Amino acid sequence: LATTPDLKSIAESVTGGAVRVETLVPPGTDAEAFEPRPSHLGLVRDAVLVIRVGLGFDDWLDRLIVQSGNTRVQRGAEAQLDLSKEVALLEVQGRSVEQQSGHAHGAANPHYWLDPANAEAMGAVIAEAVVRVAPEKRASIEASHDRFRAELKARLERWTRALEPHRGAPIVAYHNSWPYFARRFRLNIVDVIEPKEGVPPTAARLLSLAATIRSKKVRVIVHEPFEPMEASRSLSQRTGAQVVVLAPSVGGAPGTETYFALFDRNVDLLGKALAGQP
Amino acid sequence: MIADVLALLAFPCIAAFIFVGMHTWLGLQVLRRKVIFADLALAQLSALGATVAVAIGHAPGSAGAFTYALLFTLAGAVMLTLSRRVSVDVSQEAVIGIVYVVATALTVLVVDRSPQGAEHVKRMLVGSILTIGPADVFKLTLLYGAVGLLHTAFRRPILAAASDNRGHASWTLTFWDFVFYGSFGLVVTSSVALAGVLLVFSFLIIPAVIGTLFSRQIGAALAIGWSAGVLASLLGFGASLVLDVPTGAAMVAAFALVLVAAMLIRVFARSSASRLQPKQVARVALAVLAGAVFLESCWLMLSPRGDHPLLAGFEVLTGIGPERFLTATERSVYTDAAQTELRNRGEVERLRALEREARWKGKELGEEELRRVASFQQSFNEMGRGERFVQDHLRATARARERWYVGLPAMLLSALCLAWFISGVRKRRARVSTGRRGGDVTVAP
Q: Which amino acid is at A10?
A: I
Minimal Cβ distance to A92: which of B127, B241, B374: B374
Sign of CA dihedral B11, B15, B20, B22: positive
* Contact between B230 and B20 (Cβ < 8 Å): yes
B8: nearest CB among A94, A206, A230: A206
**What residues of chain B lie within 8 A of the CB of A205, using their CB?**
244
* Sign of torsion over alpha carbons B62, B63, B68, B74: positive
Which of B327, B336, B346 minimizes the C-alpha distance to B391? B336
Residue A103: the pLDDT is 38
Highest mean pLDDT among A99-113, A230-244, B353-367: A230-244
Distance separating alpha carbons of residues B154 and B137, to the nearest angstrom: 25
Q: Is the dihedral of CA A188, A193, A199, A202 positive or negative?
A: positive
**Are the C-beta atoms of residues A3 and A24 closer than 8 Å to each other?**
yes
Query: Which of A86, A156, A90 has the alpha carbon at shortest distance from A126?
Result: A86
Q: Which of B10, B241, B17 is nearest to B132 (CA)?
A: B10
Of B9, B130, B359, the CB nearest to A186: B359
- Buried b / exposed e across B69-86, counting CB within 10 Å, b at 16+? bbebbbbbbebbbebbee
Contact B127 A182 (CB under 8 A): no
Rounded to the nearest 5 degrees, what angle is found at the Cα of B346, between the Cα atoms of B340 and B348? Answer: 105
**Do A187 and A181 touch, CB atoms closer than 8 A?**
yes
Amino acid at position B340, single letter: T
Of the two residues A173 and B3, the one the predictor is more confident about is: A173
pLDDT greater at residue B236 or residue A231 = B236
Contact map slice: B 381-400 vs A, CB within 8 A: 381-382, 385
Going by their DSSP bridges, the two strands A242-245 and A220-223 should be labelled as parallel
Contact A252 B116 (CB under 8 A): yes
Strand order in the sheet with A170-173: A188-192, A170-173, A220-223, A242-245
Our CA dihedral for A182, A185, A186, A191, rounded to 10 degrees, sits at -20
Q: Mean pLDDT across the stretch A210-239?
A: 80
- CA nearest A198 in B: which residue? B126
Predicted complex ipTM: 0.70
pLDDT at A143: 87
Q: What tens digit of pLDDT does each residue of A43-76 get? A: 888 888 888 888 777 777 888 888 887 788 877 7
Closest residue in chain B to residue A183, using alpha carbons only: B359
Question: What is the rounded distance in angstroms from the CA atom of residue B35 to the CA atom of residue B96?
Answer: 8
In this complex, which of B112, B241, B370 lies closest to A88 when CB atoms are compared?
Answer: B370
**Would you say A124 and A51 are in contact if contact means Cβ atoms under 8 Å apart?**
no
> Which candidate, A229, A223, A235, places its Cα nearest to that of A266?
A223
| Minimal C-alpha gap between B205 and chain A (Å) | 24
Question: pLDDT tens digits for A27-52?
Answer: 777 776 677 777 888 888 888 888 88
The answer to whether the beta carbons of residues B24 and B226 sit under 8 Å apart is yes
Residue B124: per-residue pLDDT = 65
What are the distances in angstroms from CA A132 to CA A48, A135, A136? 10, 6, 9
State chain A's mean pLDDT as an integer.
80
Pair A33, A62: CB distance under 8 Å: no
CA A64/CA A39 separation, integer angstroms: 11
DSSP lists the bridge partners of residue A244 as: A222
Task: Kindly determine whether residue B133 and residue A89, on different chains, have CB atoms separated by under 8 Å.
Answer: no
Tens-digit pLDDT string for chain B (445 aa): 567 777 778 888 899 999 999 999 999 988 888 888 888 898 888 888 888 888 887 877 778 888 888 899 999 999 888 887 776 677 888 888 999 999 988 888 887 776 555 556 656 666 678 878 888 889 889 999 999 999 888 888 888 777 765 555 577 888 888 888 999 988 988 888 788 888 888 999 999 999 998 888 888 999 999 999 999 999 998 888 888 888 888 899 999 999 999 998 888 777 665 556 667 778 888 888 888 888 888 888 888 777 888 888 877 787 777 777 778 888 888 888 888 888 888 888 888 888 777 777 767 777 777 778 778 877 887 788 888 888 888 888 888 888 888 888 888 888 888 888 888 888 878 877 766 554 444 444 3
DSSP letter string, B253-266: HHHHHHHHHHHHHH
CA-to-CA distance for A66 and B45, rounded, in angstroms?
Answer: 37
Instruction: Name the residue with higher pLDDT: A248 or B251.
Output: B251
Chain A residues lying within 8 Å of B5, measured CB to CB: 203, 207
Residue-level pLDDT at A277 = 62
Comparing CB atoms, the residue among A88, A182, A203 nearest residue B130 is: A203
For residue A181, pLDDT over 80 is answered with yes
The residue in chain B having the minimum alpha-carbon distance to the alpha carbon of residue A238 is B8
Chain A: nearest CA to B7, how far in angstroms? 10
Per-residue pLDDT for A278 more than 70? no
3-state helix vs strand vs coil in chain A, percent to 5? 50, 10, 40
In contact, B55 and B114? CB cutoff 8 Å: yes
- Residue A103 CB-half CA count within 13 A: 3
pLDDT of A212 higher than 60? yes
pLDDT of residue B27: 92
Most confident of A236-240, A265-269, B74-78, B195-199: B74-78
Chain B (271-330) residues lying within 8 Å, Cβ to Cβ, of chain A: none
Q: For residue A134, what pLDDT band results from cuts at 50, 70 and 90?
A: confident
